[in-house]
Amino acid sequence: MTQTDRQAQLFSIKLAALVRDHSGDLRGGGSAAPDVGSDTRSDVATAKLGVFGRGAALTRGPDAWVLVEEYPTRGLGPAMAWARQQQCATLNVLAEQSTGVLTRQAQHFREPPTVWHVEGRVLFPAIPEPFPVSAAVSIEHESMLQLIVAGGAVPSVEHGVLAGEVAGLEVCRVVTDRHTGEVRLEVGVGAHDREAFQIIHGDKPPVEALAGVVQAVAPHRLPHASPHPLNRLAPERLLRWELMADPSLVGLSMLSPAEPPFPRPNLKDPFPAVAVGATAAGDPVVVVCSVGVDLDVVPFAADARPFLGLDRADLLLALPSRDAHRVTLDLASRLKYPAHIVTIDL
């Protein structure tokens, strides 16, 4: 048995125990509940374990129970997709972290899933978490803005972080050294690249270093460029950059970047890119760009709309044509204020 298989089995045992303790004997008969380590797969009368990559899942009659262990902040969409596949009438989502975010996202749907906060062996109804207050860039960090522009990158601010991008790909970031308190512009694509660049080229002036990286990255971020690791990173932000250059592709007259409802954790994992635009008549529109079949894009996008203070604005999901999966279409139609899918031919 692989480590992944062993972990999946442990998650399944954990979920079965939580559901049993909360709802009663999974087998549906008798008063004695099975031991945590018992094979709940034999309880086929009322409960069936399923496969859920971020944790574990089971069905019990018409109810789905999904335990989200990995990256729970973006676990609601996958859980809803799993319950839809099982044709369950109701969905219970369990997690030990980020349940306030999950509950807030769930409330955007006409028939919201129930979110439970796991505390040991007990389930508590989760409480919606308020949106984070958008942090302003410090004066010390803002002083680096001109260096970013001089190096040829486009400044980007999200949740108090000042960075520089090339066609949506971060190539530098302003940081404060946690030991010395020094504010500096670090050059590179992602944290590891910035660290390596600092070690190898630390004596090079920041503007010169950034200009070299911009020159190396730019050809790979052009539309229809040959496949390359640099255009496989942050493809959602590359799509947003292309739409900002031509908002008519999504039927708008203007489009500008906007903050997501919570910070992006890294450059590697899929993370939708948010933008705010306007129609020719001046009506505001929230646009969320996604590339690849991202099962969580709908809850994420629905959360972005009120985060930006545009609760009733039209919501557009901009996707490559190949990624307009029926699960995404279904989840978008189940929102209280439905989102519209706009496909882009890349």
Output the DSSP codes for 61-120. Answer: TTEEEEEE-SSGGG-HHHHHHHHHHTT-SEEEEEESS-HHHHHHHHTTBSSPPEEEEEET
Q: What 3-state class would DSSP assign to 9?
A: helix
pTM over 0.85: yes
Edge-to-edge strand list for the sheet holding 273-278: 254-258, 273-278, 284-289, 314-320, 340-344
pLDDT of residue 224: 86
Cα three-residue angle 330-335-336, rounded to 5 degrees? 150
Predicted confidence (pLDDT) per residue in 27-76, tens digit: 443 323 333 334 444 443 468 888 998 999 999 999 999 999 999 999 99
Q: What 3-state class would DSSP assign to 224?
A: coil
User: Which residues have a Cβ under 8 Å from the Cβ of 15 and sit 6 or more positions away?
Assistant: 55, 56, 57, 58, 65, 67, 94
Sign of CA dihedral 266, 272, 276, 277: positive
| CA–CA dist 183, 174 (Å, integer) | 7
Q: DSSP letter string over 248-311?
A: GGGT-SEEEEE--SS----SSS---EEEEEE-TT--EEEEEE--S--TTHHHHHHHHHHHTT-T
Ranges of residues in the chain with a pLDDT under 70 are: 25-46, 201-202, 346
Q: Helix %, strand %, coil % for the chain, to 5?
A: 35, 25, 40
pLDDT of residue 346: 67
pLDDT of residue 25: 60
Amino acid at 303: D
| Cα end-to-end distance, the chain, whole Å | 41
User: Which residues have a Cβ under 8 Å from the Cβ of 152 and sit 6 or more positions away?
Assistant: 166, 210, 211, 214, 215
Q: Which of 180, 155, 152, 177 is nearest to 257 (CA)?
A: 155
Q: Are 159 and 263 in contact (CB under 8 A)?
A: yes
| CA–CA dist 131, 343 (Å, integer) | 29
Q: Are 144 and 162 in contact (CB under 8 A)?
A: yes
Residue 259, both tokens: 């903050």
